[in-house]
Structure 1
């Protein structure tokens, strides 16, 4: 039996546009290099494809500098997909741009109508529940509306809280398998993962927490050797991908694809 939390046959990605240099960022640590970002993006897409999955590669959207971070636009589940309602005003239009691609893949497509806001980067689907982190981009009304939608599909949703100063819930955690979570110590200390097997990022390597388990591989940002070694010793097959340019826009491995 397949595990719907990490065994996928398809993914959707979007190529970065030249306007990516104007993308949102919590703090300015430099302007992204489009060439280097595209090279890393190609490596990311090739790694997904190497597992046998089909990758639907959407064209760049110059009107939306952050549009390569497709995960925030939707939640993809086996029963259907839900279009999100981003908390960043400049990103609201990305959802309508994603809708046709999802409509072509899903029989059932729901949407967050508002007035609340919710982004995919705050949602972690585990083997037993859907965890949604309240953050600067995801509010109580958005969480409540999503809870109503996914309950129709038999899911339990649990609201948790993202640490102050952390953009998205999944900035600090990721799913390694249905019962195992990679997390920073600061997020795990909140108690939100009680009952799960939790692996901590190495001290000083908190930025390695945003990885993705995609079929047999764990895609993680390059440059965090201690965390990579921890995952390797835990039996995971790790592929390290240059995230230097996406990191300048608070982006990571999960942000770059919708997986289903």
Structure 2
């Protein structure tokens, strides 16, 4: 299998004004819309500077969380899978991503239910794909998705997401093909067997949602100890603002579909 970090294309969606009312688990203040747009534009700029061709889709005001394109589909060189998001308010987003994905992927598979799966719970490794069970991804959905992944040639394993962690990738991300940055609650995840697991520094659990693009890791700019950790390992990284995105329970991997 190719490296899970070797991307050349991405699909993103611009935030709609309604995004400030996006889903969040713990309440809290709305993000500032201008700040949210600025963070999103900086993110798109970073993807392009790292060599990706990026399609920017129009905002969808009827769907506040639609800028988080990762949750509604999975994209691979071999094909794509349309998912069934676990939040009822997001179900309608799938119809809006179908045509943009089909323009790039000749093979398009689709979950039919009754289970659900969010892309934020899917971690692609060099030799397999981990599907995390969460409030948004249930076992029937994970099992259906595993079958669809097999059709594309990918082996899947199902893991438990710790309580209090929204999505599996809220708590972990790839430093490189064989190394995972994870919150302590995921440190002994059985599905990480054979990989090196590096714990997030104290007080920086929210830094775990990193995104590796080629040889560079994108990381939130508020996490100096995590920056030092990456630097000590000789990992090139780029710090991006995620203050406003964090208000609606999101991070760096959520905002793009990549292949």
Instruction: Report the TM range for the smaller structure's normalisation.
Output: over 0.9
- Structure 2: distance between partners of 1:217 and 1:14: 22
CA offset at residue 225 of structure 1? 0.3
Query: Conserved in 2, the CA contact under 8 Å of 1:4 and 1:78?
Result: no
Give, in angstroms, the shift of residue 97 of structure 1: 0.5
Corresponding residue of 1:239: 238
Retained in 1: the 8 A contact 2:120–2:254? yes
1:189 and 1:4 map into 2 onto residues whose CA distance is: 24
2:44 aligned residue = 45
Other structure's SS at 1:213 match: strand
Quote how far apart the aligned CAs of 1:174 are. Answer: 0.7
Higher deviation after alignment, 153-162 or 186-195: 186-195
Match for residue 141 of structure 2? 142
Q: Any idea what SS the aligned residue of 2:159 has?
A: strand
What aligned pairs does 1:90-101 form with structure 2 within 5 A after superposition? 90-101=89-100
Matches within 5 A, 1:221-236: 221-236=220-235
Distance (Å, rounded) in 2 between the aligned partners of 1:146 and 1:31: 33
CA distance in 1, matches of 2:63, 2:111: 20
| Kept after mapping to 1: 8 A contact 2:157/2:191 | no
Q: 2:59 maps to what in 1?
A: 60
Q: Could you say which residue in structure 2 is the equivalent of 1:214?
A: 213
Contiguous gaps of at least 5 residues in structure 1 = none
TM-score for the superposition, normalised by structure 1:
0.97
Shift of 1:216: 2.3
TM-score (norm 2): 0.97
* Per-residue deviation, 1:258: 0.5
Q: How far apart, in 2, do the equivalents of 1:142 and 1:40 lie?
A: 32
Q: How many residue pairs align between the two structures?
A: 259
Deviation at 1:45, TM superposition (A): 0.5
